[in-house]
Amino acid sequence: MKTKLTLVAGILASVVAGIPMRRAEAQQNIPASLPVYEVTKAGPSDSDVRALADKFNIPVKHIMNEGGVVSFVDTGKYMAIPTVPIADSTTAGMLADQTKNKARKRPIEVVAFDPTVLTNLPVMGGTTALEITTGGLTAVKLSPQFGMPQAGNSVLTIYSRPDGERWIAKSTNLDTTVSYTFMETNGFPLVGPGAQVQLTFDAAGDVTRLHYAASQLKQSSTSVAIISGTEAMQRISRLAPTGATVALALVYWAPSAQTWLGRPKEENPKIILPWYAYTTTEALNTGTTPGPTITSRVRMMPATDDPRFVPVVSLTATKKGFDVIAHVSVKGGAKPYTFLWGGSNPGVSRDRGGTIIYRPMTRLTDALVSANGLSLQSIETVSVTVIDSNGISVIAQSGVPVVLSPANGRPKRNASSPSYGCESPNDPGGWTPARIAWQKAMGTSGGGGGVQSYCWEGASAWAGDFIEPATPGTLVSKPWIYGDADYSNWGVNTADVVLNNNDGNPDATVEMQPGAPVADYATSYLNAPVYLPTVTINLNGFGVAASYNNPFPASWGPQGPNDTLHWLLMDDCDTLDPTDSGGLNVAQRWGPAFNGLHVMTGFASPGTGDGAFEYGVAANFLGLKGASPETIVQSWFNSAQSNGAGTPAAMGPLLYSSGQLIGSDSVDHYWNKGSVGPTIVPADYPASQIEWWYVYGTNPNTVLP
């Protein structure tokens, strides 16, 4: 079956009504050439920052200016929910006592909310916020070039079942944010981390968050030839799953300041090019009709092949014994280059220069290989992402026949120390930079991220990693189906915080399975626990699809002997949409999996992440940039909005007692970075006592709908 191609050029999901979009259903509407933009001023200067601080009453010492990206977060006021004194101190104390605490010097902190107050929180009006923002930025001569402002609100919803059955949802606005969207002079959207300006206000009019990442641009006399829409679709379709639908948009992409790569600010982007943003949507063959669909995160591809600006990458990979040797040569673009490598061995990741040598590995043990008739012979995919000094990135891949080495040894872990993990099934490949960025931030020396419990890539990232097996702590014969969430350092429960770096929809996330080549991503499907079947394998033409009813109730949390999961970060599209196509809310869909999990974050929209977003999340809650560490929820929302990654969302449980909602973990920090709330196990209480908080953000800056 051939890939279905659909041209949707110039669509921007978050654009203000009234801004004209360039839309093309035919190749002739895409221009043959477009100009290059030069960066004449890379963001605000130090004197501009002082003017911003004075105008918006922000202590200048609390504003960060990193490579021309200006940011400020008042961690005490941003997304704040008012608390009240706890009435049921006995229950509060019990919750605190039963919570595993990895903070060295800080006790578990229990807070309470008044549910009547939460339904009517005061917020600043959108018109007032717009007037203050536009007037203030104009006064300090920082009105964003090409920018148009819009106001919106973050929304807090409380889901409850007072009779234990019927669901009730009560929502209120939480704060007010003014965001700018950008359209360059030729009518194409200017998007990306380098085109973000936002101010958030509380009800009193105080600025609780400011982010300014907008350079001054000049249209150059130099133009580049644009790859035709037809050619772009053909290139994408060769990488897309069979039968997938491709949506395409022609945009100008403003990359992030590359300080997250370790680059000095002098090497931040100096030119802005046209790019194609695209997604792929595939219908998964799960044996049902119609089958579910999965839309990928937004991906980016340079819209020109001009070697003056786009690196030309040549990758060679060969086998030597049990090892793989790979080398990349690069011409064009702007030096210096960064090389991000991907392969089946978890040690192949960060910038290692132009040549790597490593031993391909499988997560499987010899016993699992033998018991399931699996083969260690495989086609090893080696990938390299080359990023030049202008943020232009090009991915190259190569396949090498190898014999995989089983990972029979299991690294020891200290269950009393902070730890992190990740799932990255489309890796090596499209999501490799995002996974590396997460590991880079969490593994920063002295940063407090702790130790990496695990990070599974490609065929080693399984749906079973999210499922507690029938006998906790055991390794079943088919763990990719029946669960290994708490087996040593294998699954999500064995780390405190886990990044799920993949694709999804409101009801599911996708993974892989043993033996499946990365080219067939995704071959495994994990439904929300409320739906059956929950696990389907052998998708995208990899064998015959088979489904299994395994609803994984009470699978996520720190309750078992090996369990320590507190925060699950779902870096995939639409997983935390307020409702799904069947009308089920987030608590109905994902709540049954909670077994003490404090916070689940995600997106209530399509999303994108090329590394800057994932690095930002960890850097924010670890306090790596010198600012005060943010809460888990603040860090997710702040990084999503700062990088235009999509509409952020988060959820977690509450306990209704004595007329209050107590124990909210919406204000959790990471271990040793601030307060941490109590562990609430929903199954321990009547359904009428468990309520759920859910927050989703404002002004999504996604590139495609």
Which residues touch 512 (CB under 8 Å, ≥6 apart)? 425, 458, 459, 460, 461, 462, 518, 521, 522, 523, 524
Q: Is the pLDDT of residue 21 over 60?
A: no
Q: Compare 207 and 241 and report the one with higher pLDDT.
A: 207
Number of Cα atoms under 13 Å in the Cβ half of residue 595: 22
Cβ 524 vs Cβ 539: under 8 Å: yes
Among 407, 573, 596, 591, residue whose Cα is nearest residue 506: 573
What whole-number percentage of the chain has pLDDT above 90?
Answer: 76
Cβ 547 vs Cβ 484: under 8 Å: no
The first and second tokens of residue 101, run together, are 């605490």
Q: Is the pLDDT of residue 283 over 90?
A: no
> Tell me, what's the pLDDT at 139?
98
Average pLDDT of the residues in 312-318: 96
Which residues touch 594 (CB under 8 Å, ≥6 apart)? 554, 556, 557, 600, 652, 653, 681, 682
Distance of CA 672 to the CA centre of its chain: 23
Cα–Cα distance, 144 to 305 (Å, whole number): 30
Which residues touch 161 (CB under 8 Å, ≥6 apart)? 167, 168, 687, 688, 690, 691
Q: What is the DSSP letter of 12?
A: -
For residue range 169-228, list pLDDT tens digits in order. Answer: 999 999 999 999 999 999 999 999 999 999 999 999 999 999 999 999 999 999 999 999
Which residues touch 583 (CB under 8 Å, ≥6 apart)? none
The first and second tokens of residue 445, run together, are 């020396």
Question: What is the residue whose two structure tokens read 């990088």?
Answer: 643
What whole-number percentage of the chain has pLDDT above 70?
Answer: 93
Per mean pLDDT, which range of 281-290, 302-311, 374-383, 687-696 is the poorest? 281-290
Cα–Cα distance, 652 to 511 (Å, whole number): 23
Average pLDDT of the residues in 634-644: 96
Average pLDDT of the residues in 120-128: 94
Q: Compare 326 and 701 and report the one with higher pLDDT.
A: 326
Question: What is the residue whose two structure tokens read 């536009």?
Answer: 134
Cβ 120 vs Cβ 172: under 8 Å: yes
Cα–Cα distance, 308 to 391 (Å, whole number): 14
For residue range 408-458, list pLDDT tens digits in order. Answer: 766 566 678 899 999 999 999 889 999 999 999 999 999 999 999 999 999
Q: pTM higher than 0.85 for the full model?
A: yes
Q: Is the pLDDT of residue 265 over 80?
A: no
DSSP H or E run through 74:
none
Per mean pLDDT, which range of 116-120, 350-354, 484-488, 542-546 is the poorest? 350-354
540 — pLDDT class (breaks 50, 70, 90) = confident
> Tell me, what's the pLDDT at 525?
92
The first and second tokens of residue 489, run together, are 């350092």
Pairing of strands 497-501, 567-571: parallel
For residue range 82-94, list pLDDT tens digits in order. Answer: 999 999 999 999 9
Cα–Cα distance, 492 to 454 (Å, whole number): 9
Three-state DSSP class for 298?
A: coil
Among 58, 208, 330, 108, residue whose Cα is nearest residue 637: 208
Among 474, 436, 469, 470, residue whose Cα is nearest residue 455: 436
5 — pLDDT class (breaks 50, 70, 90) = very low
Q: Compare 53 and 610 and report the one with higher pLDDT.
A: 53
Average pLDDT across the chain, whole number: 90
Cα–Cα distance, 508 to 292 (Å, whole number): 9
Question: What is the residue whose two structure tokens read 């395409």?
Answer: 248
Three-state DSSP class for 636?
A: helix
Among left, alpha and beta (phi > 0; psi -120 to 50; other), residue 618 is alpha
Cβ 199 vs Cβ 177: under 8 Å: yes
Cβ 435 vs Cβ 427: under 8 Å: yes
The first and second tokens of residue 656, run together, are 């209704």
Q: Which residues pair with 650 in a beta bridge?
A: 601, 695
Cα–Cα distance, 246 to 50 (Å, whole number): 45
Q: Which residues pair with 247 in a beta bridge?
A: 279
The first and second tokens of residue 679, run together, are 């562990």
Q: Is the pLDDT of residue 705 over 60?
A: no
